[in-house]
Amino acid sequence: MNSKVYPSAQYLPFGDSAILIELGDTINAELNKKSTSVLSEKIEKAKIKEVEEVVPTYRSLLVRYNPLKTTYEQLVFQIKDIEKNVTTNKCQD
């Protein structure tokens, strides 16, 4: 079995009030440190009012949100913009 880090995050609905953002299919300390932790921090710093909680794991993030204030699609759009900025900043380091 080949484990990998995804070239871009995969966004999956997680019930009716959360998004699962997968960054790879392996438990990897580098993935956790450079991608999961950084993206989690950037989402929290963006202070998206509809986001209630961000739960980082080794290879993914769970983002809980209020479905009465936003839709899955709207929030994915906002987070993809944040992800794009994280990827761009990593390339500039």
The structural domains of the chain, with segments of one domain joined by +, span 5-92
Encoded amino acid at 76, one letter: V
CATH topology of domain 5-92: Gyrase A; domain 2 (3.30.1360)
pLDDT higher for 5 or 20? 20
- Per-residue pLDDT tens digits for 51-91: 999 999 888 999 999 999 999 999 999 999 998 877 555 54
The one-letter code for the residue type at 4 is K
| Mean predicted lDDT score pLDDT of the chain | 86
Strands of the chain (E only): list them. 5-13, 18-24, 51-56, 60-65
pLDDT at 18 over 90: yes
Token representation of residue 65: 């949100």
For range 35-42, the mean pLDDT: 88
Query: How far is CA 34 from its chain centroid?
Result: 12
